[in-house]
Amino acid sequence: MNPDPTSGLAHAPSWALFAGQFGKVSVSLGLALFIVAILIWAIRGTQPKAIKLATALFVTGCGTLFAAIGVLAALFINNQFEFKYVYSHGGADTSLSYKIASVWTAQEGSFLLWGCTSALFGILTIWGTGIYKRWYGIAYATFLAAICGILTYESPFNLMAEAQQHGITFLPPDGSGMTPSLQNYWVIIHPPTIFMGFGSLTVMFAYAVAAMLTGNAQAWVAKARPWTLVSASILGLGLCMGGMWAYETQGWGGFWAWDPVENVSFVPWLFCAALIHGFIVQNTKSRWTASNLLLGGMPFLAFVYGTFLTRSGLLDKVSNHSFASMDRNALVILRAFMVAVAAIYFTLFLTRGRALALKDKKDDPDRGIAREGFYRFSVITVSLFATVVSLGMSWPVITALRGGQGSAIEEPTYHMVVAWFFVPVMLAMAVAPFVSWRTMSTKDLWIRTSSVVSLSAGLTGFGMLALTNGTYGVHLLGGEHVHMPFGTQMPLVPWLAVLLFGCIFVAVGNIWRAVETSKRSSSSLGGFVAHLGFATLMAGLILSRGFEQKASDYVQVGAPAKLLDYEVAYKGMQGKGVTDRDGKVLFDIASPDGSHFEARPGFYMYETGEAQPGVQTWPHIEKTFSHDVYLSLHPPIVEVWDAPQTLSPGTTKTIDKFTVTYLEPTTEGPLGQPGAKFGAKLRVQTPEGVFDVHPTVTIQQGGLTPDMVAVGPSFQMFMSRMDAADHSVVVQLMFRHPLYPVDLFYKPLTSLVWLGTGILTLGGFLSAYTRRVRRTSKARLPLDSDTDA
Amino acid sequence: MIRGSIVSGAIALIAVAAVLVTFSNGGSPYVTMSQAKKMKDDHLHLAGDLLKETVTPDVLHHTLHFKLRDTDGAVVSVVYQGEVPANMTEATKVVAIGHADGDIFSSDKLLVKCPSKYEEQPKAGAPTYKAS
């Protein structure tokens, strides 16, 4: 890094310029390798030597993506701000973990991350594909080639035009830094997790395509099933982490807001869940061949569609996540890939998939109640729900087609619709484990489930009593209603009881069956655990939102506020000044039971390059098992008036509850020279009384220096300027102590959200482990086993 | 088998139709100020570029005054009743939810959008809803 003699700016080191070129070339090389691999598989896909070569090219192609992301991380770590992407999203003073996380904080890097996670699953799966390798490889490589194509246009390795002069590339000393609201530990762990989930969706898609093209629609089930379980587990964990991130940092007190970006990741998870259960039926009864072929591609296709929807700018107005507009060519590739793949997939399904299913068709299902019926019901309901969420997130686009600007679907509307699908699915999830694969009578089913139903009902009643009892929680305000479809309403408490019953029923039913079957077989334990986790998670989300209480007020030094039954008193500041990124505002909170705790919401200010500094706040969450107390801090308020006021001598002005009379101007010292002091004698009437004040401004070397004068006990005033000709002054009234606007949320049983996430993920991985393809034994289960849950 | 498929197909169709009706009724329309003046709904979404220098909080009335340029290019004065969203200072675009009150748009909910650096997935969850 040689400083340039003329500009004083350091030159960009040659290794970095080389590395940037290397990153670019890597991506282009990857594109070429994937295309050659596709061609070899397509043309000479039956010759073992050619397959070997194509596989090697495929794996090398995946390697180029890893190399590219490695280079990008190195550029961030070494502060190479001559690259536009690094300059826009990185900063010199951030810690190492944030520098690495900066890789995926924007468009280009997140596409690269998607490519890398997908490539990773490609390497993990390609050798186990057996008879499907040829078409699996082609389908998989097509997607990775498209990602490489997008990355050649949407490249994170472009140099900044401003950093290049006279053929020399300079190294800007600092970047613009990671957006303050992203600077949180979740930015390090959440995106890689959820993108691992997204990347794994390609596996199911490629298997389904290969199954249709190879003509064997049975063998793929055993191969794709464990990966579907892995995918659902990771994606589910990623979704939960996203919710936790929102909860811990956003300050609106919730986990899930039905934002389009959230829905885009939720829909593939729903399809994965449906596919898992479809596989169970095909594995056990050799039916559902066609529907599984269709479902196999849905998680991936839904995610590609969602990515297109959110990145294309079509939802620009609706989402809280705004995206930089994508490079036109990159968007063309994404759109072309989406349209072509969807068209090919559905054509394949209609022309080959259904024919394959007819070939393998087995007898009609037995009459009466059997587990397959429950699975069919659940899979259809979950798939429909996924379709409905897709419709909801596309609604602004759909309605805009009719002209005008379209309309958006928001949380209350989603909640109306979700319940229609949620309640039936929960009932099926609770009862299905008690139903055998062979038919049974309704009476037998009732005998097997009656104790579970009674126990669940009892627990629900007990739970609702505890939750609505003031001794345990905060009293409900009473008379609240939830909006139901078609303009109807329902009282909140019975409605929450219905939803809670669904969760408890699933939990009790699955624990019951887990205990019953554990003596014979543990292979279905993962399923029971996952269902228990899901029920726990849902109970946490429903109760913490349904019984949520919120109050807002201002807190000031010496003026505590009572929010709900909590008394919030300002205690002080912690940190090295207002720009300290670890700065906190301390509040003492007295709980209704008399105990105290200290709330420490984060607060700091940062440069924005504009007149007003930016303000970042983080909520404080006091977590206990029974409830969370969530304190959200808003930027403190110091100015009383909307804008500074101009006053002329001898006039009186009333602004809000304040009346100011300008009595007379004063001057002191040598006029027009340093040391001269101008003042205004003012009479200010505040709600606290009438006060005579004398704000002044002194001319000094650096400019004008105002002094702050007290106006009664609660206010103060300063004068920013005085007109030399007519002696009019500009004054602003301030609060003596800043006002801290706070929201306090009381949220019961949020602990269940964390607990449920853990149990659900554990159950998912346990199932994946149980269903992993073993080389020795043929994974085939006897009919009417109790094993598959 | 066939009869079963028809029944489940019919139920699925009914469910989707019901959802479509609910969405049509429950969707919150995006409008410009000139359209808002003609509509009675008090859940209208007015989107526009925030004119930053016009943002002025009025503490005593718990309100926030600001102007935005809507998609027609009209500059609209908005009065927002409620807490100021924490990232208001970073906002470039806002969606004010409420109704037209003469020439002023009266809002009780703000959806704040921040510059392109906000781009990525990370913040799953999150409208800066501030219902008052």
Give A54-113 pLDDT, tens digit per residue. Answer: 999 999 999 999 999 999 999 999 999 999 999 989 988 888 999 999 999 888 999 999
How many angstroms separate the CA atoms of B30 and B45, rounded? 5
Rg, Å, chain A Cα set: 32
The pLDDT tens digits for A143-172 are 999 999 999 999 999 998 888 888 888 888
Structure tokens at A78: 């070494």
Write the burial class of residue A558 (CB in 10 Å: 0-12 exposed, 13-18 middle, 19+ buried): exposed
Distance from CA of B76 to the nearest CA of A (A): 17
Cβ density class A367-381: b for 16+ within 10 Å, e for less:
eebbbbbbbbbbbbb
Task: Tell me the residues of chain A between 704 and 763 that have a Cβ less than 8 Å away from chain B.
Answer: 739, 741, 743
Structure tokens at A485: 């479809």
Candidates B65, B93, B121; nearest CB to A261: B121
**Is the per-residue pLDDT at A506 higher than 90?**
yes
How many angstroms separate the CA atoms of A147 and A149, rounded? 5
The pLDDT tens digits for A61-77 are 999 999 999 999 999 99
Of the two residues A547 and A365, the one the predictor is more confident about is: A547
How many angstroms separate the CA atoms of A242 and A256, rounded? 9
Please report residues of A whose CB lies closer than 8 A to that of B35.
404
> Do residues B128 and B86 make contact, with C-beta atoms less than 8 angstroms apart?
yes
**Is the per-residue pLDDT at A451 higher than 60?**
yes
**Is the per-residue pLDDT at A454 higher than 70?**
yes
How many angstroms separate the CA atoms of B97 and B95, rounded? 6
Residue B116 pLDDT = 41
> Do residues A758 and A254 make contact, with C-beta atoms less than 8 angstroms apart?
no
**Is the per-residue pLDDT at B120 higher than 80?**
no
Distance from CA of B106 to the nearest CA of A (A): 18
Please report residues of A whose CB lies closer than 8 A to that of B56.
642-643
**Is the per-residue pLDDT at A783 higher than 50?**
no
A655 pLDDT band, cuts 50/70/90, is confident
Distance from CA of B89 to the nearest CA of A (A): 6
C-beta atoms surrounding A54 within 10 Å? 28
SS3 A570: strand
Q: Which domain holds residue B87?
A: 30-118
Any domain includes B110: yes
Tell whether A638 is within 8 A of chain B (Cβ): no
**Is the per-residue pLDDT at B126 higher than 60?**
no
* Percentage, residues of chain A above pLDDT 90: 51
3-state helix, strand, coil in chain B (%, to 5): 30, 40, 30
Please report residues of A whose CB lies closer than 8 A to that of B44.
none
Q: Where are the alpha helices (DSSP H) in A432-558?
A: 442-468, 492-518, 525-546
Residue B121 pLDDT = 34
Residue of A176, A247, A407, A617 to mutate for B, most B C-beta atoms under 10 A: A407
Cβ within 8 Å, pair A388-B21: no
Chain B residue with Cα closest to A380: B12
C-beta atoms surrounding A493 within 10 Å? 17
The pLDDT tens digits for A292-316 are 999 999 999 999 999 998 888 777 6
Task: Tell me the residues of chain A between 382 and 401 that have a Cβ less than 8 Å away from chain B.
Answer: 384, 387-388, 391-392, 395-396, 399
Cβ within 8 Å, pair A179-B117: yes
**Is the per-residue pLDDT at A780 higher than 60?**
no
Kindly state the DSSP code that residue A24 receives in the 8-state scheme: H
Residue of B65, B119, B130 to mutate for A, most A C-beta atoms under 10 A: B119
Of the two residues A614 and A207, the one the predictor is more confident about is: A207
Distance from CA of A244 to the nearest CA of B (A): 9
Residue A114 pLDDT = 96
Least confident of A388-397, A435-444, B1-10: B1-10
Distance from CA of B34 to the nearest CA of A (A): 12
Cβ within 8 Å, pair A321-B119: yes
**Is the per-residue pLDDT at A398 higher than 60?**
yes
* Percentage, residues of chain A above pLDDT 70: 92
Residue of B121, B128, B129 to mutate for A, most A C-beta atoms under 10 A: B121
The pLDDT tens digits for A460-495 are 999 888 887 765 555 555 567 777 766 677 888 888
DSSP lists the bridge partners of residue A315 as none
Average pLDDT along chain A: 87
Tell whether A420 is within 8 A of chain B (Cβ): yes
How many angstroms separate the CA atoms of A774 and A640, rounded? 72
**Is the per-residue pLDDT at A365 higher than 60?**
no
- CA-to-CA separations, A718 to A668, A685, A711, A726, in angstroms, rounded: 17, 16, 10, 19
Any domain includes B96: yes
Distance from CA of A372 to the nearest CA of B (A): 13
Cβ within 8 Å, pair A321-B23: no
B52 Cβ contact list (under 8 Å, min separation 6): A610, A612, B91
Distance from CA of B129 to the nearest CA of A (A): 7
DSSP lists the bridge partners of residue A549 as A746
Chain B residue with Cα closest to A409: B27
Tell whether A256 is within 8 A of chain B (Cβ): yes
Residue A141 pLDDT = 97
pTM: 0.88
Any domain includes B90: yes
Structure tokens at B110: 């703000």
Least confident of A30-39, A57-66, A548-557: A548-557
Residue A2 pLDDT = 47
DSSP lists the bridge partners of residue A637 as A739
A440 Cβ contact list (under 8 Å, min separation 6): A368, A369, A370
Residue B118 pLDDT = 35
- CA-to-CA separations, A268 to A769, B78, B94, in angstroms, rounded: 21, 39, 30
Residue of B65, B66, B72, B120 to mutate for A, most A C-beta atoms under 10 A: B120
**Is the per-residue pLDDT at A505 higher than 90?**
yes
Please report residues of A whose CB lies closer than 8 A to that of B52.
610, 612
The pLDDT tens digits for B14-71 are 888 888 888 887 777 778 888 888 877 777 888 888 887 788 776 666 678 888 888 7
Least confident of A18-22, A513-517, B54-58: B54-58
How many angstroms separate the CA atoms of A740 and A365, rounded? 66
Residue B124 pLDDT = 32
Residue A662 pLDDT = 92
**Is the per-residue pLDDT at A781 higher than 50?**
no
How many angstroms separate the CA atoms of A248 and A580, rounded? 20
Please report residues of A whose CB lies closer than 8 A to that of B8.
376-377, 380
Any domain includes B128: no
Cβ within 8 Å, pair B124-A239: yes
Residues listed for chain B: 132
The DSSP bridge pattern shows strands A614-618 and A584-590 to be unpaired
Cβ density class A155-182: b for 16+ within 10 Å, e for less:
bbbebbeebeeeeebbbbeebebbbbbb
How many angstroms separate the CA atoms of B96 and B36, rounded? 12
What's the whole-number mean pLDDT along residues A733-740? 89
Please report residues of B whose CB lies closer than 8 A to that of A175.
none
Candidates B23, B113, B118; nearest CB to A179: B118
The pLDDT tens digits for A367-395 are 667 888 899 889 999 999 999 999 998 88
Cβ within 8 Å, pair B12-A410: no
The pLDDT tens digits for A584-640 are 999 999 988 889 999 999 998 887 766 667 788 899 999 999 889 999 998 888 888
Please report residues of B whose CB lies closer than 8 A to that of A608.
89-90
Cβ within 8 Å, pair A242-B31: no
B4 pLDDT band, cuts 50/70/90, is low
Cβ within 8 Å, pair A642-B65: yes
Tell whether A407 is within 8 A of chain B (Cβ): yes
The pLDDT tens digits for B73-102 are 888 889 888 766 666 766 777 888 888 888
Q: What is the CATH number of the domain that holds B79?
A: 2.40.50.140
Q: Taken in order A639, A640, A642, A645, is the CA torsion positive or negative?
A: negative
Cβ within 8 Å, pair A321-B121: yes
Distance from CA of B61 to the nearest CA of A (A): 9
Cβ within 8 Å, pair B124-A407: no
Please report residues of B whose CB lies closer than 8 A to that of A614.
89-90
What's the whole-number mean pLDDT along residues A223-233? 95
How many angstroms separate the CA atoms of B87 and A226, rounded? 43
Task: Tell me the residues of chain A between 70 and 129 that have a Cβ less than 8 Å away from chain B.
Answer: 88-89, 104-107, 109-110
What's the gap between Cα A6 and its chain centre? 47
Any domain includes B20: no
A&B contacts, CB < 8 Å: 233
Residue of B6, B11, B16, B19 to mutate for A, most A C-beta atoms under 10 A: B19
Structure tokens at A214: 């190879």
Residue A368 pLDDT = 67
In A124-207, the DSSP E strands lie at: 164-165, 168-169
> Do residues B57 and A439 make contact, with C-beta atoms less than 8 angstroms apart?
no
The tally of domains found in chain B comes to: 1
Candidates A109, A251, A413; nearest CB to B23: A413
Candidates A242, A610, A615; nearest CB to B125: A242
**Is the per-residue pLDDT at A405 higher than 50?**
yes
